[in-house]
Amino acid sequence: MFREIARYVRACKNCIVHKAEQQRPPRLLATDVTRLWQQVMIDLIGQLSRSSNDYTWLFNMQDHFTKWVQMRSLRKTTADVITKSFAEAIIYHHRLPRRSVSKQRDVPKSCSECWQA
């Protein structure tokens, strides 16, 4: 019976067109990072339970070369707050990275405008 079903599915044009994808989605491409703070991975973690100082978010920044992590606690996740936190944690102490990458959609797209300003 298995062979009959397999033969039917191979012959069915509808089955071929609407077949579920069997491959995993592609992973992030490996990049050539040769210096400290050349590329930074940024992500938001939350919304967490409220702390005693009313913080509910964690802003995670990781150097891609050394895997060094900087974290800041945030009350809001607006582009201005994230940009200021990024500047205080990374730019003022190290330098402006060539690239900042986020796997999440949580980091507001308007942050890219703030980086360029």
pTM for the model stands at 0.63
State whether residue 15 is helix, strand or coil. helix
Element (H, E) at 58: strand 57-63
DSSP state of 106: -
Domain positions in the chain? 39-102
Q: Write phi, then psi, for 33 (nearest 5 degrees).
A: -105, 125
39-102, superfamily in CATH?
Answer: Ribonuclease H-like superfamily/Ribonuclease H (3.30.420.10)
For residue 99, which phi and psi values (nearest 5 degrees)? -135, 145
| Confidence tier at 83 by pLDDT (50, 70, 90) | confident
* pLDDT at position 71: 92
Encoded amino acid at 23, one letter: Q
Q: How many helices (H) and strands (E) does the chain have?
A: 4, 4
- pLDDT single digits (tens) 26-61: 777 667 888 888 888 888 888 888 888 889 999 999
